[in-house]
Amino acid sequence: MADPKGFLKVPRETPTRRPVPLRLMDWREVYEEFPDDRLERQASRCMDCGIPFCHQGCPLGNLIPEWNNLVYRGDWREAIERLHATNNFPEFTGTLCPAPCEAACVLAINSDAVTIKQVELQIIDHAFKEGWVAPQPPATKTGKKVAVIGSGPAGLAAAQQLTRVGHDVVVYERADRIGGLLRYGIPEFKMEKNRLDRRLEQMRAEGTHFCASVTSVPTSPLTSCGRTTTPWCSPVGPPRGGTCRRRAARSRACTRRWSTCRGPTTCSRATSTPRRSRRRARTS
């Protein structure tokens, strides 16, 4: 464990905010850098509880006491391995997560909680700086193709795991750039976009493909990239103003607009009885 008396000797410290006049001049993150030696002292406050409630507080089940101990001992390389064991993108959670793990920290019962969030963020930043976050392409390919709809944090995590298993993964995004909420929902002062871009570069090197500005997913093999204008029913529908032209057995083509079509596998208009025929059936 970390220093058995660390929580008694070391007070809680967090990064200081940049001066307001300086923050008004750019869109960078609010907080200043936190020295590694001071962070190691903060990690020593972890008590390595018999029942670490921080595990329960963390939605990912991060191995918090383990990498706190490794940071305290200066073993940053092993710390990033333990952090990546449960978290694909600790740089995202380290900046954006409200840190329920700190609220669940046993030390928070009668004192200030361990600075878990800052330790997590600094582990991944240190790893990128040292070049330890390298692409992990699969050793073998399965030959299976997977389409991931949306390039938010959940879609990217799923795509990375599937790619490393050996599947051919294509991530489709409706916006003009990859990232989803991370790109367009989070302001720059909360998380600088270079954190997202460097992770996307790693995923591209692993073999994940990204397609932006896509309004519908093709039903053909996942080989084309760019704006898709397939006329068939698809999970996200055709381009705005398009129509669903999927034919059903023994019926005419459906020309109902996608906004009222209940596809994708069966068109309700094509398989239903015409409205006039239904009225006659009721009256008779």
Residues 6+ apart with CB under 8 A from 148: 155, 158, 159, 162, 169, 170, 171, 172
What is the value of pTM for the model shown?
0.75
Q: Which two tokens stand for residue 34?
A: 């936190």
d(CA 254, CA 200): 40
**Which residue's entry shows tokens 């059936």?**
281
Whether the CA torsion 173, 162, 221, 238 is positive or negative: it is: negative
Which of these, 64, 94, 84, 217, lies nearest to 161 by C-alpha position? 84
Residues 6+ apart with CB under 8 A from 112: 11, 12
For 147-176, the pLDDT digits (tens) are 999 999 999 999 999 999 999 999 999 999
Q: Which residues of the chain have pLDDT under 70?
A: 1-2, 218-284
Contacts of 44 (CB under 8 A, 6+ apart): 2, 3, 6, 10, 72
Say if CB 28 and CB 188 are below 8 A apart. yes
Residues of the chain with CATH 1.10.1060.10: 6-130
Q: In what order do the strands lie in the sheet with 209-211?
A: 145-149, 168-172, 209-211
CATH superfamily of 145-211: FAD/NAD(P)-binding domain (3.50.50.60)
Residue with tokens 């989803």: 180
Angstrom distance (rounded) from CA 191 to CA 185: 10
What pLDDT shows up at residue 3?
75
Q: Which CATH number fits domain 6-130: 1.10.645.10, 3.40.1190.10, 3.40.50.300, 1.10.1060.10?
A: 1.10.1060.10
Q: Write the single-letter amino acid at 182.
A: L
Q: In the chain, where does the domain assigned CATH 3.50.50.60 lie?
A: 145-211
Q: How high is the pLDDT of residue 4?
A: 81
> In terms of DSSP H, where are the helices of 44-99?
53-57, 64-72, 76-84, 90-96
Q: If we measure between CA atoms, which residue out of 79, 152, 153 comes closest to residue 116?
A: 79
